[in-house]
Structure 1
Amino acid sequence: MDTFSQFLPLAAFPLTVPIFAGFWFLGLTYGIYMNVSGFSFWYPMLMSITIFAGSMEFVTVNLLLGAFNPLQAFVMALMINARHLFYGISMLDKYRGTGWKQCYLIFGMCDESFSINYTADIPEGVDKGWFMFFVTLLNQFYWFFGSTLGGVLGSFIHFNTEGLDFVLTALFVVIFLEQWLKDKDHTSSILGIVLSLLCLIAFGADDFMIPSMIAIAGVLTLLRKPLEKGGETA
């Protein structure tokens, strides 16, 4: 394989096709949601470029519509995307030696890009750095394309969009169910539900999110070793 062909995304594209289907539809929904919330298509377009964190972008809609609270926005973003800290540690060796591409690989790493780049068997003769670069770039483009298109089309939609924001709830429910089905030990999931319900009762529906995230992170950190042992024996 010649040097030029190593730069092409042909090897990466087939692995990202399933991501395209999900990202395009979810991004389209996000763009429409932004538009019906009163934002121009520039907002979802720019946020898909600069933030590129699907669940956080949905949450950002409420943050932009609410009172100015940078501390809440920071804590919310940190807690929602905290899993990327562990993704980054796992990818240290794989990203080593990729040169300038490493900066974009770190910025553009989402759940799906991490999954592909961590597990994929890179075809012989294809440069590792360029392969992971195009996987990441294609996945971000799918989200960018869907959210921008949704932002544009939202101006022409005249049906009742009430309840469209439920897509965020549905997104987290799907993620939770996928994790539940994958894990044999459901202790962490049950703890998350119980702690969230306790914080909901204690702090109310408007203020329980951050306390529940802090409580979940703290309890799971304290119980990490017992949970790891339970997972090994399961």
Structure 2
Amino acid sequence: MRKKAFKAAAPYTFPVLMGYLFLGIAFGVSLVSKGYHFCWAIFMSLIIYAGSGQFLAVALLSGGASVLTSAFMTFMVNARHLFYGLSMFDKFEGMKAKKPYMIFSLTDETYSLIYRTKVPEGIDKNWFYFFIALLDHFYWIMGGAIGALAGSLIKFNPKGIDFAMTSLFIVIFVEQWESAKSNLPAILGIVATVAALMLVGTKEFILLSMIIIMLCLILLKGKLEPKLKEDTSC
């Protein structure tokens, strides 16, 4: 059962592999360039597992910020993950011992895959979702380790590598747009993000945009729910 679930889940994670590998490498190179030992890249990727948060932590710590300040800023940058869990009650039902890890490993890309991917017939849902999360996490750790080792041995300019995450977001968005029965949630997301950006600027718009999106989705729940259930039915 587990072997079948693993084989079924792996192909869905390959786009994430490409994005996480290059972005993880960029993180590893950035970390060691600030004077940290390469082992910290593996440790942070294993325990923190937050792409933008890890880049921010490196910048803050190398700039003299306290661990507490770095932890708080990392939390704020990734506060959008609080909203992800609201739509995962049904998906994570019956996870039992796997649930804590599933909550921990719910990154942007993992959330997108789990939320949108239909479980193949004959495959255990819980193990399928678990292996998607586990593989994505492994890719991120692997990328960080490779980047840190390479950065400690070879000196080069990593400028531009971090665009891999932006590219990955675009690919996932386009795939969802083409496959969704209703594109209204995506349109709401774009409009809310632009509105929040205009209201509060680049530093604080993420949390505000997520609040606006959630309020809109709650108000339009009756209209959207039938189509969303059709999209995500397993």
TM-score by length of structure 1 reads 0.75
1:184 match: 187
Query: 115, 121, 125: which is aligned to 1:124?
Result: 121
**Deviation sequence 1:19-55 (CA, Å, 0-9, x none):** 1111111111111111112111111110110011111
- Deviates further, 185-194 or 147-156: 185-194
1:204 match: none
1:27 match: 24
1:105 match: 102
2:142 match: 145
Residue 79 (structure 1) aligned with residue 76 (structure 2): yes
Could you tell me which amino acid in structure 1 is paired with residue 187 of structure 2? K
TM-score by length of structure 2 reads 0.75
1:91 match: 88
Larger Rg: 1
Could you tell me which amino acid in structure 1 is paired with residue 108 of structure 2? D
Distance 1:9 1:90 in 2: 24
Could you tell me which amino acid in structure 2 is paired with residue 189 of structure 1? T
Residues 224 and 133 (structure 1), Cα distance of their counterparts in 2 relative to 1, 3 Å cut: closer
1:9 match: 6
Could you tell me which amino acid in structure 1 is paired with residue 12 of structure 2? L
Aligned length: 213
1:194 match: 198
2:44 match: 47
Distance 1:108 1:44 in 2: 17
1:115 match: 112
Query: 62, 65, 85: which is aligned to 1:65?
Result: 62
Could you tell me which amino acid in structure 2 is paired with residue 123 of structure 1? P
CA-based RMSD: 3.5
> Residues 26 and 162 of structure 2 are in contact (CA less than 8 Å); yes or no, is this contact kept in structure 1?
no
Percent sequence identity is 34
> Residues 192 and 213 of structure 2 are in contact (CA less than 8 Å); yes or no, is this contact kept in structure 1?
no
> Residues 22 and 164 of structure 2 are in contact (CA less than 8 Å); yes or no, is this contact kept in structure 1?
no
Match of 1:153, SS state, is helix
> Residues 55 and 168 of structure 1 are in contact (CA less than 8 Å); yes or no, is this contact kept in structure 2?
no
Distance 2:218 2:149 in 1: 47
1:36 match: 33
**Deviation sequence 1:51-108 (CA, Å, 0-9, x none):** 1111101101012112344553344223211221111111111111112111111111
Residues 189 and 167 (structure 1), Cα distance of their counterparts in 2 relative to 1, 3 Å cut: farther
Distance 2:18 2:215 in 1: 38
| 5+ residue gaps, structure 2 | 178-182, 224-234
Distance 1:47 1:17 in 2: 23
> Residues 58 and 168 of structure 1 are in contact (CA less than 8 Å); yes or no, is this contact kept in structure 2?
no
| 5+ residue gaps, structure 1 | 201-208
